[in-house]
Amino acid sequence: MEILHYPHPALRFPACPVRHVEDSIRQLVQEMKRLLLEHRGLGLAAPQVGYPYQIFLMRADREEADPGQIQVVINPVLSEFRGTVEEDEGCLSFPGLYQPIRRAKTVRLRAYDLEGRELDRTVSGLEARVVQHETDHLHGILFIDRMTEAARLASREVLEQLTRRYREAQRRGKIPRDEVILEQLRELASRQSAAPVAAPQEV
Ligand SMILES: [Zn+2]
């Protein structure tokens, strides 16, 4: 498993809610934790590693090496967006790209953790930024979609470079064709939607 870079189609594929936490989901979260620590990120969403499930990880400190400090967030719902603040933002799927993005200052997060415990917190500051960025990933929304026109223009070269690198990897057969990837994503999504509907406590 590795972190996928723009313009991989998994980054645009809407993630489905997790209905049942089975071993494969626990394994996925384990692998995502390893990658988050290795890349010293603050957040990582399942679509960024090619799994169309509503799961993301977040943490407060990129220097912290303890995987126990990583919060697992499943099926998040955001509400009560308050205030706006513009700060530089980056994304592990866009290496080398940092641009100011406007986000709500505080937001209410309701979700579940891996043990099925309910999370209901109002978050602010950097945590609110990470929560909004990662929840966007679960809906196929990327931070470039939230950039101002000026920031998007300033990003053009990096985006073109990433696109060239991606197509080149496809030409060399290191990445499957987009149609093959989409078929895999649909298959993975159907595994969760075919799972028995769990009560929220069992999520
Ligand atoms: Zn991201």
Query: How many domains does the chain divide into?
Result: 1
Q: DSSP label at 175?
A: S
Question: Does residue 171 lie within any of the structural domains?
Answer: yes
Q: What is the pTM of this model?
A: 0.92
Q: DSSP label at 70?
A: P
Blockwise average pLDDT, block size 10, the chain, 203 residues: 96 94 92 95 97 95 82 97 96 96 98 95 96 98 96 95 96 95 94 62 48
Catalytic residue set: 134
Would you say 36 and 59 are in contact if contact means Cβ atoms under 8 Å apart?
yes
| Tokens coding 133 | 């960025």
User: What's the domain range around 166?
Assistant: 9-191
CA 71 to centroid of ligand 1, rounded, Å = 16
Q: In angstroms, rounded to a whole number, what is the distance separating the alpha carbons of residues 43 and 25?
A: 17
Question: Does residue 84 lie within any of the structural domains?
Answer: yes
Question: Does residue 4 lie within any of the structural domains?
Answer: no
CA 83 to centroid of ligand 1, rounded, Å = 22
Q: In angstroms, rounded to a whole number, what is the distance separating the alpha carbons of residues 70 and 131?
A: 13
Question: Does residue 3 lie within any of the structural domains?
Answer: no
Question: Does residue 199 lie within any of the structural domains?
Answer: no
Question: Does residue 100 lie within any of the structural domains?
Answer: yes
The domain spanning residue 116 has which CATH number? 3.90.45.10
CA 55 to centroid of ligand 1, rounded, Å = 13
Question: Does residue 197 lie within any of the structural domains?
Answer: no
